[in-house]
Structure 1
Amino acid sequence: MKVILLNEVKNLGKINQVVEVSDGYAKNYLFPNKLAVSATEDALKVNKKIKADEKEMALEKIKYYQSIKSDLEKLTLEFYLNSKDGKVANAISAKQICAYLHFNFGIELDKHKFVNFKPIKALGTTEVTVKLYSDVLAKFKIKVSEK
């Protein structure tokens, strides 16, 4: 029996995917738990429209994140740290960078989106990479100066 999944089902498929399952599995597990619907002609039409809408939304998100990427890549963020004899006392975290971007530029970032980030403990310029969306990576510079 062909069914359209309404939720992700482990070892079976993802949302809106059309899969072939046994009649018993569909009637006894998927349908009662509202995990799937029968793949009728009308349901397949609706599913096709939903997939088209999702694709359009994904393209819009990519455009949005591309614009944020271009804004970020123009920036050089400036931070100041206390140092003594060339040694820095503390570090700049991803959380601090996110707060700086939010308050100064209105750009919202999640601290978990930083790629291979380690707190910055050195004076000078460092390049940081952020994964904004599936394939959209932005690189920007952080300049750390002595207070």
Structure 2
Amino acid sequence: MKLILTADVPNLGAPGDIVEVKDGYGRNYLLPRSMAIVATRGAEKQVAAIQRAQRARQIRDLGHAKEVAGQLGGLSVTVKAKAAGDSGRLFGSVTAADVVDAVRAAGGPALDRRSVDVPGQIKTVGTHQVTVRLHPEVTTDLDVAVVGA
């Protein structure tokens, strides 16, 4: 099955890439989650729009990605959770968008929430490690301190 990716899919491709996948993977996973569209002649215009939007959000090159990774390395990020119980368990969880907002509030660079990988769900108070994918060749780990309000 020939598909055009609309989202970044690990180990498959980036938005705008035309990929060939097995029918079941495309029909049961990629299409229902809006991660891809079926490749047709009319979809070429959509590919161009997707790639323009990606270039606007993307970190420009490898050197820029390393510079942003250096900025993130010296940053102390604190996320204030809405509420926590006596045992330190949160009433809710910390999402990638919360981490991006905390990085921006700490004076860090503007990140795309899709580039932040939160392992599972952060549901406890304390220090947690998240991975930030800045470039296909550059990833960095970021320590996030979660405190209850």
Instruction: Please classify the TM superposition score into its range, dividing by the shorter chain length.
Output: 0.5 to 0.7
Q: Which runs of 5+ in 1 are unaligned?
A: 1-7, 12-59
Show the counterpart of 1:91. 93
Q: Return closer, same or farther for 1:84/1:107 CA change in 2, 3 Å cut-off.
A: same
**What is the count of residue pairs matched by the alignment?**
93
Give the RMSD, CA atoms, in angstroms.
2.6
In structure 1, distance between residues paired with 2:127 and 2:108: 23
Aligned-residue offset at 1:107: 1.2
Q: Higher helix share goes to which structure?
A: 1
Aligned-residue offset at 1:143: 0.5
Instruction: Kindly provide the amino acid, as one letter, of the partner of residue 111 in structure 1.
Output: R
TM-score with structure 2 length normalisation?
A: 0.53
Q: Which runs of 5+ in 2 are unaligned?
A: 1-16, 21-59
Please list, as runs of the form range in 1=range in 2, the aligned pairs for 1:104-123 lying within 5 A after superposition. 104-115=106-117, 117-123=119-125
In structure 2, distance between residues paired with 1:73 and 1:120: 21
TM-score with structure 1 length normalisation?
A: 0.54
Q: Does structure 1 retain, via aligned residues, the 8 Å contact 2:130–2:143?
A: yes
Please list, as runs of the form range in 1=range in 2, the aligned pairs for 1:2-81 lying within 5 A after superposition. 61-81=61-81
In structure 2, distance between residues paired with 1:145 and 1:10: 43
Q: Does structure 2 retain, via aligned residues, the 8 Å contact 1:94–1:117?
A: no
Q: Does structure 2 retain, via aligned residues, the 8 Å contact 1:74–1:140?
A: no
Aligned-residue offset at 1:116: 5.5
Aligned-residue offset at 1:139: 0.9
Instruction: Kindly provide the amino acid, as one letter, of the partner of residue 108 in structure 1.
Output: A
The CA deviation string for residues 63-104 of structure 1, in whole angstroms up to 9 with x for no partner, is: 111011011011221122221221211211101111222344
Q: Does structure 1 retain, via aligned residues, the 8 Å contact 2:77–2:106?
A: no
Stretch moving more, 109-118 or 132-141: 109-118
> Of 120, 140, 143, which residue of structure 2 is paired with 1:141?
143
Q: Return closer, same or farther for 1:103/1:88 CA change in 2, 3 Å cut-off.
A: closer
Aligned-residue offset at 1:9: 7.9
Q: Which has the larger radius of gyration?
A: 1
In structure 2, distance between residues paired with 1:9 and 1:124: 42
Show the counterpart of 2:14. none
